[in-house]
Amino acid sequence: MQEEQIVYVVDDDEGIREGLSLLLETTGQKTKLYSSALDFLDDYHNKIRGCLILDIRMPSMTGLDLQTRLNALGATLPIIFITGHGDIPMAVEAMRQGALDFIRKPFREQDLLDRINQALSIDAGRSKHESDRSIILSKLALLSERERQIFERVAKGDMNKVIAHDLGISERTVEVHRSQVMKKLAVKTLAELVRFKLQEENNAQ
């Protein structure tokens, strides 16, 4: 079961936090508010979904520091920075580190909403990719070492007799392993097996 998408707002300014919460309520979007980067980090886990609205200048831990920590944790949550006029060089650095965008204060509400919708769309795509990858890996984990060898060779288009010769086993044994592979991967045809292999390769990228 996938986590619900939430817009996480991290800003030490209570007025901005509450204002963003009210704005997002008008669009039906669920939010969680944090007054510090450390508080958000305490709640963070790698299955959360949505996006992060992050102030770039905060005491104790800056927005850039939090971004660095999240990158080290392998986080994929899209980040939109909120910056003051003097923070632009820092915001540019944040973009280089993978932030989706930065919004300058004072910002137009619609501009921010547009960026949030973009971030949520990106997150949804990443979430599906991760879900697909998880399913593929769980099925591949069911294969024995020999079945994995057969899977790789069949997916390449090798004939049973060629596989049998190369592995030093009978063609009948290859057929039995091949049947088990298709059962464990829940595929019925050679085309589906090849498609499964392509999905594995695409999800590994």
Domains of the chain listed by start with CATH number = 5-132 (3.40.50.2300), 142-203 (1.10.10.10)
Which tokens go with 202? 């695409």
For the whole model, what pTM was predicted? 0.66
Per-residue pLDDT tens over the stretch 30-88: 999 999 999 999 999 888 999 999 999 898 899 999 999 999 998 889 999 988 877 77
Of 29-33, 132-136, 194-198, the range with the highest mean pLDDT is: 29-33
Q: DSSP characters for 171-203?
A: HHHHHHHHHHHHHHTT--SHHHHHHHHHHHHHH
Task: State how far the Cα of 186 lies from the Cα of 205, in Å rounded to an integer.
Answer: 23
Q: So what's the pLDDT on residue 126?
A: 78
Query: What order of strands is seen across the sheet that includes strand 5-10?
Result: 31-34, 5-10, 49-55, 79-83, 101-104
Ramachandran class of 174: left when φ > 0, alpha when ψ lies in -120 to 50, beta otherwise: alpha
The answer to whether 97 touches 75, Cβ cutoff 8 Å, is: no
Q: How far apart are the first and last CA of the chain?
A: 24
